[in-house]
Amino acid sequence: MPPSPADLARRLLVDCDCPLPVPDGGGDHPALAWRRAGLMAVTGREDGPALMCPAALTLSADAALLALAALAPPDALLPPHGALLLGERARLMGLQRGGAMSANRSCRLISAADGHFALNLAREEDRDLLPAWLEADADGWDGVAREARLRPAADLVARGIEMGLPIALAAAPAPVPQPWFRRRGAGPIRAAGGNRPFVVDLAPLWAGPLAGSLLAMLGADVVKVESLARPDGARLGHAGFFDLLNGGKRSVALDFRSGEGRAALRRLVARADIVIEGSRPRALAQLGVDADEAVANGAIWVSITAYGREGAAADRVGFGDDAAVAAGLAQAMAAGWGEPMFAGDAIADPLTGLHAALAAWAAWCRGEAGLIALSLAGTTAHAMGAGIAQGDLLAEWQAMAERDGAPLYPPRAPFAPAGALGADTAAVLASC
């Protein structure tokens, strides 16, 4: 039997130094939750049946939400299920399973001479790097597949990382003994926002904005800060999904190329009780923003990276699908279903967003400033520790999901449409 979400939630709260009671219940069996979250539609071969994920990732998501609910004020309006958050983008966008192709088709599992790796071409500039990376005339997926078959996977991945490609070796699942977030105590919080934390959300795309959205549901005043020249790329995606992640936040847009814009950013960070960012550390340093300085001044700093904040990982680029492959999810699918495949939709992102929100709010409740570092790959690897079904157990989970006739979890509605880019810039800066 897998652990219950409540048991996992209690462990999370102990790990957060907030050991609070959590009532039993609060989540469905992982087979039922996977189906009811709409994740069967994005798991399995493109021309094959919908499949159950062997890893009990919904347990981890439900547990994080239960733990957050235990810390929440009575009037907080949190989602009813953590698992719901794992599948809502795919449901909104009508994504479908692709086997060795990710649900959004930007990432693919490639066969090398001795194994598999994931390559994510979500950005046009990454496609431009393909010939230089392979040292061959390869400008698309067919060329990548042709060249990769002749070379060791590790060599291809190492060269790709060096060139800044979102790429990852398809690793076997491995337990992550340490917590998936790291805390460094730095004294009490400044609490500039009083009883309502003032949150500066610098993160783009999914994981960080989801964390900020959950904090807003808990009562935080969340300001989404974007570059005028390069706003959050998710603005160009599905509008309903962008509203889910960013509705209810105030919008600030700054020109980071100007001294005035960088100075305004530093003022916002200096006032923040909680900062959420999803950048490589050197990117913020170039803007004159220093996490250690903010923490020393009493802020809670939440750093979300693809593969880690320190060492060589700090400069590594990645997204939710390739990070999940690095965590072992594709190999878990191979062990269960005979071939490496993607499971879910960029599932590392919502898993990390949930746990980032929990870690940040727990630090706020403790009144402790500090740095909280999470990676998409590390969070997914830790979440897989909730259990991996194999053999007869996986067949039983698959049968449970196929027999289940309950409706899918009701979709969430956003607080409100997300603000237009920079709609609140003047008002927010006037208060800093």
User: What pLDDT sits at residue 353?
Assistant: 97
Q: Where does residue 140 fall: left (phi above 0), alpha (psi -120 to 50 degrees), or beta otherwise? A: beta
Q: CA-CA distances (angstroms) from residue 154 to 29, 106, 280? A: 37, 21, 23
User: What pLDDT sits at residue 194?
Assistant: 65
Bridge partners of 107, per DSSP, are 120
For residues 244 and 414, is the Cβ–Cβ distance under 8 A? yes
| First-residue to last-residue Cα distance in the chain | 52
DSSP state of 168: E
Using alpha carbons, select from 390, 425, 101 the residue that is nearest to residue 252: 425
Distance CA 319, CA 119 (A): 10
What are the contacts of 176-180 at 24+ separation with CB within 8 A?
Answer: 176/378, 176/381, 176/382, 176/385, 179/15, 179/382, 180/355, 180/374, 180/375, 180/378, 180/379, 180/381, 180/382, 180/383
- Torsion over CA: 216, 305, 126, 112 (sign): negative
Please list the ranges in the chain whose pLDDT falls under 70. 1, 177-186, 192-194
Distance CA 225, CA 54 (A): 38
CB crowding 13-49: b at 16 or more within 10 Å, else e: bebbebeeebeeebbbbbbbbbbbbbbbbbbbbeeee
Amino acid identity of residue 425, one-letter, is T
Amino acid identity of residue 374, one-letter, is L
Using alpha carbons, select from 412, 368, 347 the residue that is nearest to residue 214: 412
- Torsion over CA: 240, 242, 244, 247 (sign): negative
User: What pLDDT sits at residue 180?
Assistant: 59
User: What pLDDT sits at residue 188?
Assistant: 78
Q: Which helix (H) or strand (E) is 142 found in, with range?
A: helix 141-148
Each residue of 88-140: pLDDT tens digit?
999 999 999 999 999 999 999 999 999 999 999 999 899 999 999 999 988 78
User: What pLDDT sits at residue 90?
Assistant: 98
Distance CA 183, CA 240 (A): 34
- Indicate the angle between helix axes 82-93 and 57-71, nearest 10 degrees: 120
User: What pLDDT sits at residue 420?
Assistant: 96
For residues 369 and 186, is the Cβ–Cβ distance under 8 A? yes
Distance CA 53, CA 340 (A): 12
Using alpha carbons, select from 258, 256, 207, 189 the residue that is nearest to residue 229: 256
Number of Cβ atoms within 10 Å of the Cβ of 159 = 16
Over the Cα atoms of the chain, what is R_g?
21
What structural domains does the chain harbor?
A: 181-311+413-431 (3.40.50.10540)
State the Cα angle at 195 between 351 and 288, rounded to 5°.
65
221 Cβ contact partners less than 8 Å away, ≥ 6 residues apart:
193, 196, 197, 198, 199, 250
Distance CA 416, CA 242 (A): 11
Token representation of residue 177: 């003994």
User: What pLDDT sits at residue 310?
Assistant: 87
For residues 194 and 271, is the Cβ–Cβ distance under 8 A? no
Amino acid identity of residue 410, one-letter, is P
User: What pLDDT sits at residue 192?
Assistant: 61
Each residue of 387-401: pLDDT tens digit?
999 999 999 999 999
Using alpha carbons, select from 198, 121, 221 the residue that is nearest to residue 163: 121
Distance CA 251, CA 85 (A): 23
User: What pLDDT sits at residue 411?
Assistant: 95
